[in-house]
């Protein structure tokens, strides 16, 4: 006797998709939260929760692909969910690279500050203009910090216009589009495929036979 599978085909699809989503969420959300923390927002946890919008949209796509009864909803959930995953992975890679560049730049600035402090102390021992020496060292360090910020952005895989503001809205916009398309398709009753065989249910209903003419029914 053939043993039944522990999961239905749709259950297996959801389990695989959810597992992949879980790993993606750990990788991407950690990068998003690290970047949010560096911005020091007033409402930290609200910003952190908001940064998870794309991951929520991807999870909805996985659920729709596996369990929704509309054929086109399942199809477009797969397409848009995959596109959104690619966007999240690219965004995560960009943030990881940006954080790495910022860490290297911070180390360079710390070493520069130590060198300037040491040089300033040596110069102050041989001059009476200690305030001017200290001001010059501070200006040199400030110029290095500003140049370092530009250097960090230039090293990113993203263009400057994206880093200067668009990066905080693009994923929200893509998530809204990804959700709107399949949700808008759910009103099409002719697209329902309740038995998940790939054929709309209305095309599988037996056609009703035409009524017999009254003359035939009367035996005329």
Residue 141: CB atoms within 10 Å: 16
3-state secondary structure of 198: coil
Mark 75-109 as b/e (b = at least 16 C-beta within 10 Å): ebbbebbeebbebbeebbbbbbebeebbeebeeee
Q: Does 212 reside within a domain?
A: no
Q: How far apart are CA 123 and CA 114, in angstroms?
A: 14
Q: Does 164 reside within a domain?
A: yes
Q: Does 63 reside within a domain?
A: yes
Is pLDDT above 90 for 101?
no
3-state secondary structure of 70: strand
Mean per-residue pLDDT, 134-151: 57
Q: How far apart are CA 154 and CA 61, in angstroms?
A: 34
Phi, psi of 204 (to 5 degrees): -105, -5
Is pLDDT above 90 for 83?
yes
Q: Does 198 reside within a domain?
A: no
Q: Does 219 reside within a domain?
A: no
Residue linked to tokens 């690619």: 86
Give the count of domains, the chain.
1
203 exposure class (CB count in 10 Å sphere: 0-12, 13-18, 19+):
exposed
Distance of CA 189 to the CA centre of its chain: 31
pLDDT score at 111: 65
Given a contact cutoff of 8 angstroms between Cβ atoms, the answer to whether 17 and 66 are in contact is yes
Is pLDDT above 70 for 150?
no
Query: Which of the pair, 121 or 167, is modelled with greater confidence?
Result: 167
Highest mean pLDDT among 53-57, 167-171, 195-199: 53-57
Q: Does 47 reside within a domain?
A: yes
Which range is least confidently modeled, 80-89, 159-168, 185-194? Answer: 159-168
Which range is least confidently modeled, 37-46, 69-78, 142-151, 199-208? Answer: 142-151
Q: Does 206 reside within a domain?
A: no
Q: How far apart are CA 156 and CA 106, in angstroms?
A: 16
pLDDT score at 77: 95
Mean per-residue pLDDT, 58-84: 94
The whole domain housing 123 covers 9-193
Is pLDDT above 50 for 60?
yes
Q: Does 199 reside within a domain?
A: no
pLDDT tier at 114, thresholds 50, 70, 90 = low
């Amino acid at each position: 006797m053939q043993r039944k599978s522990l999961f239905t085909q749709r259950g297996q699809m959801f389990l695989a998709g959810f597992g992949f989503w879980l790993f993606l969420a750990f990788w991407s959300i950690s990068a998003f939260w690290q970047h949010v923390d560096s911005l020091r927002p007033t409402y930290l946890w609200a910003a952190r929760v908001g940064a998870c919008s794309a991951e929520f949209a991807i999870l909805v796509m996985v659920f729709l692909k596996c369990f929704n009864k509309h054929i086109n909803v399942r199809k477009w959930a797969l397409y848009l969910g995959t596109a959104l995953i690619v966007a999240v992975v690219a965004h995560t890679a960009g943030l990881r690279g940006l954080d790495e560049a910022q860490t290297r730049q911070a180390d360079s600035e710390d070493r520069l500050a130590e060198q300037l402090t040491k040089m300033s102390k040596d110069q102050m021992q041989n001059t009476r203009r200690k305030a001017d020496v200290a001001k010059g060292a501070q200006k040199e360090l400030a110029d290095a910090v500003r140049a370092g910020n530009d250097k960090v952005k230039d090293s990113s895989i993203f263009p400057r216009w994206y880093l200067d503001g668009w990066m905080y809205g693009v994923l929200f916009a893509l998530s809204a589009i990804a959700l709107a398309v399949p949700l808008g398709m759910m009103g099409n009753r002719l697209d329902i495929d309740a038995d998940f065989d790939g054929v709309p249910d209305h095309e599988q209903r037996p056609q009703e036979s035409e009524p017999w003419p009254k003359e035939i029914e009367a035996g005329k």
